[in-house]
Structure 1
Amino acid sequence: MYALPVGIVFLCVATITVALRLYTRLRLVRKPGWDDLLIVVSLATDIVFFAFLVIESQNGLAENEADLPPEVVRRQLKALWITIPLYNLTLTLTKLSLIFLYRRLFPTHTYRILLILTLIFVIITGLWMVLSTLLFCIPINAFWDTSLPRTCLPEDVVWCLNAAFQITTDLILVVLPLPILAKLNLPKRQKAALLVIFALGFFVCATSIIRLTTIVRLLRDPDFTSGNGLAATWSFIESAVAITCACLPPLRPLLVRVFPKLIPSRMRSYHNNRDNKESRSNSNNNNNNNNKAEEAGLQQLPSRPPTISKSRTRKSISRRGTRNEDLDFLAVYG
C-alpha cells in the first residue's frame, strides 16, 4: 500500500525540520516561543495521525470492500474516525504556530489587528472541523458500525466544507504578509529567498486542493475502502508539508552558521559578534525591536535606534518605518 511509504517519507522530513527548528531556537537563539511549542504539539498529533493510518492500512485501506470481512471494515472505519479530527487538529495547530510567528515578525498595529482577526477565524473554524468530525455520528460508534440506529451529519457537506476552510485559511496565511513584502527594498538574492519561502506556502495550498479532489472522488466512489486510500494519503501529505513549511523561516540563524557564504558580509559580521552585542544591549531600553526579533529566533540587523523629532514630516517617518521593515526581513530571510 502506497500510503505507508509515502507517509514515512513526509513524516521524516517534517520531524527533521522540527528538530532543526528546536535546535536553532534552544541552542543558537536560546529564546523559544509559543510558536515553537505549537509546532511541536502539531508534530505530535501528526505522528498519532500516522499511527492510525498504519492501522487503516493493516485493515484493508485501498482494497475492495467486497473482499474484506465486515470486522476488518469496521476496524478500518474506526481508525478513520480518529484520523480525520487528528488531521484537522494538526493543521489548526500549525496555522496557530504561523500566526504567533507572524506577530513577532510584523509588529505594526494594523497588521497585528489583522492577525488577531485571523487568529479568531482559525480557532473557530478549527474547533468546528475537529468537533464536526469527532461527533460526526450520534452515537459515535455508529460511524464504524452501520448496523446501529444513528443520526449523522451529511458527509459530503461536512468534508467539503472543512476542506474549503482549510484552503481558505492556507491562502489567508500566505497572502497576509504580501502587502508588507511589496514595500521591501531588497537585493535580488534576498527577494529570491522570499519568493521561495512563500512559494512553498502556495505548495501547501496546492496539496489542500488536491486533497479536496480526492475527497470528491471518494464521495462518488461506491467502494469506500478502495477510494479512501488516495484521500488518506493526501491528507497526511498535506499535514506533513504544512509542518515542514512552517518550520523553514525560523531556521535562518542555523543557515547563517552552516552556509555563511550565502549571507551578505554585513550579516555575517553581525552574527559573528551577536553574543557581545546582545550582552551590551540587555540594559538598553531602546533595543526593544531587536529583543522582539530575537525572541522569535530571527535576528535583526544592527541599526541605531531611530530618534524622530516632532518636526519631522509624516513622509520621513514612513520612510524610516519602511527601512526598519527592510532590515527585519533581511535578518529573517537573507
Structure 2
Amino acid sequence: MYTVPIAIIFLTLTCLLVALRVFTRLRVVQKPGCDDLLIVLALLADIAFFVFLVFEIRNGLAKNQKLLSPQVVRNQLMALYITIPLYNLSLTLTKLSLVFLYKRLFPTKYYQIILAITLFFVVTTGLWMIFSAVFFCIPVHAFWDTSMPRTCLSEAVVWCLNAAFQISTDLLLVVLPMPLVIRLQIPKRQKVALIFIFALGFFVCAMSIIRLTTIIRLVKTQDFTEGNGLAATWSFIECNVAIICACLQPLRPFIIRFFPRLMPSRVRSDHPREKHSGPSGGASTVGYHGNPFGPTSTSYVTSVAGTFSLDSLSLGDAQHNHSAGTANGIQVVQELRWDSYSAEARRKSVQSGDSSTGV
C-alpha cells in the first residue's frame, strides 16, 4: 500500500529537521526554548501516530470491509481510536510551539496580548479535539466493538468540526506574524525570504483542506475501512508538514554557520551605523544601539551579522523599560537575520590575519 512508503519518507524528513533544529538551538544558538521542547513532543506524538497507522494497515486499512474478518476490523478500529487523539495532539503541540516561537521573536506588549489570546484558543480547541476523540463513544471500548450498546457522537459533525478548527488555527498562525515581519526595516531580499518562510504555513492549511475533503468522503461511504485509507494518509502528511514548516525558521542560524553560500550575501545594509567609542577610544560599530521595539521612529542594531534597521514595532509599547527592550531587540535580530556576513567576516578576518603574519 502506498501509505507506508509515503509515511516513511515524511517521517524521516521530519525527524531530520527536528534533530537539526534541536542541534541548532542547543549548540549553535545555545539558547533552547519552550518551543523547541514542544516540537520534540509533537514529533514523539507523530512517531506514535506512525506506529499505530502501520498497525491499521496490517489490519486491512484501505481494503474492502467485506473481505475482512470481524476481529481484523475490530483491531483496525482499535488502532484508529488511538491515532485520532495522537493526530490532534501532534498538531496542537506544533501550534503551541509556533505560538511560543512568536512570543520570543516579537516581544511587544500588545502582540504578547494577542499571542496570549491565541494560546488560549489553541489550547482550548486542542483539548476539545483530543477529549472528543478519547470519549467519542460511551463506553469507550464501544468505538471498536460495534456489537455493544453505545452512545456515540456524530462522526460527520465532530470530525468536520475538528478539521475546521485545525484549518482556522493554521490560518491564524500564518497571518499573525505577517504585519510585524512586513514592517521590519531590513534588506528587501531578506524580508521576502522571511515572509516566504512564515507563509509556508499556507501549505499546511492546504493539507488540512485536502484532509477535510477526505473526511467528508469518509463519513459518506458505506465501506469505512476502505474509505479511511486516504483520510489516514492525508492526516499523517498534515502532521509531518506542520512540524517541518515549524522547524524551518529556527534552522537559519544552522544554515548561516555551516552553509553560508546558500544564503543571500549582503555585507551591510544600506542604513548608516552609529559610531561609539570603544575600549581604546577608537570608533566601534559592534554592539547594540537603541531599542528596536521602543517608541523611536527607527533604531539600529549592529552585530557580527551586519547592520539591521527595524521600524518601530512598539504598537503602543512605549511603557516598556529600555533594558528589557534592548535584550528583546537583540533576540529578534539574532532570530530574524538572513545573511552570510558573519561567516564571510570571519573568513576574511582569518585571511587578513594569515597574510599579516606571513602564513
- State whether TM-score is above 0.5: yes
CA change 1:84–1:306 in 2 (3 A) is: closer
CA deviation after TM superposition for structure 1 residue 208, in Å:
0.5
Instruction: Show the counterpart of 2:72.
Output: 72
CA shift, 1:302, in A, is: 4.5
Does the 8 A contact of 2:292 with 2:312 survive in 1?
no
Q: Would you say 1:264 and 2:252 are equivalent positions?
A: no
Q: Is the 8 A contact 1:249 1:333 kept in 2?
A: no
Taking the TM superposition and a 5 Å limit, the aligned residue runs for 1:176-215 are 176-215=176-215
What is the CA distance between 1:90 and its match in structure 2? 0.3
Where does residue 243 of structure 1 map in the other structure? Answer: 243
Aligned to 2:311: 323
Report deviation, 1:116. 0.1
1:186/1:330 contact within 8 Å kept: no
| Unmatched 5+ stretches in structure 2 | 270-278, 280-285, 300-308, 314-328, 339-359
Deviations 1:126-155 (A, max 9, x none): 000000011100011110111000000111
**Which residue matches 1:46?**
46
Matching residue of 1:276 = none
The SS at the match of 1:248 is helix
Between structures 1 and 2, the one with greater helix share: 1
What SS does structure 2 have at the residue aligned with 1:237? Answer: helix
**After the TM superposition, which segments of 4 or more aligned residues of structure 1 sit over 4 Å from their partners?**
324-327
1:181: Cα distance to partner? 2.1
> Is the Cα contact below 8 Å between 2:11 and 2:240 reproduced in 1?
yes
Aligned length: 296
The residue that corresponds to 2:224 in the other structure is: 224
Contact 2:292 2:310 in 1 (8 A): no
Structure 1 residue 304, shift from structure 2 partner: 1.4
- Structure with bigger strand share is 2
Secondary structure at 1:317's aligned position in 2?
A: coil
- Higher Rg: 2
- Give CA deviations for 1:179-237 in whole Å, capped at 9, x if unaligned: 11222233232123123212311000100000000000001111100010000000000
| SS state at 1:303 partner | strand
Partners of 1:187 and 1:235 lie apart in 2 by 38
Report how far residue 329 of structure 1 moved: 5.4
Distance 1:304 1:79, change over 3 A: same
Letter in 2 for 1:30: Q
- Give 1:297's aligned residue: none
* Contact in 1 for aligned 2:207/2:237 (Cα 8 Å): yes
Task: Name the residue aligned to 2:346.
Answer: none
Shift of 1:305: 3.2
Question: Given residue 64 of structure 2, which amino acid in structure 1 is its aligned partner?
Answer: N
Amino acid across the alignment from 1:323:
D
Which residue matches 1:292? none
TM-score with structure 2 length normalisation? 0.78
| 1:190/1:330 contact within 8 Å kept | no
Give the superposed CA RMSD: 2.3
**Residue pair 1:193, 1:333 contacting (<8 A) in 2 also:** no
For residue 303 of structure 1, report the CA deviation from its aligned partner.
2.9
Q: Secondary structure at the match of 1:148?
A: coil
- List gaps (5 residues or longer) in structure 1: 268-279, 281-300, 309-313
What code does the residue aligned with 2:288 have?
Answer: S
**Aligned counterparts of 2:268 and 2:296: Cα–Cα separation in 1:** 25
Counterpart of 1:332 in structure 2 is 336
Shift of 1:323: 3.3
2:117 counterpart of 1:101: no
Partner of 1:155: 155
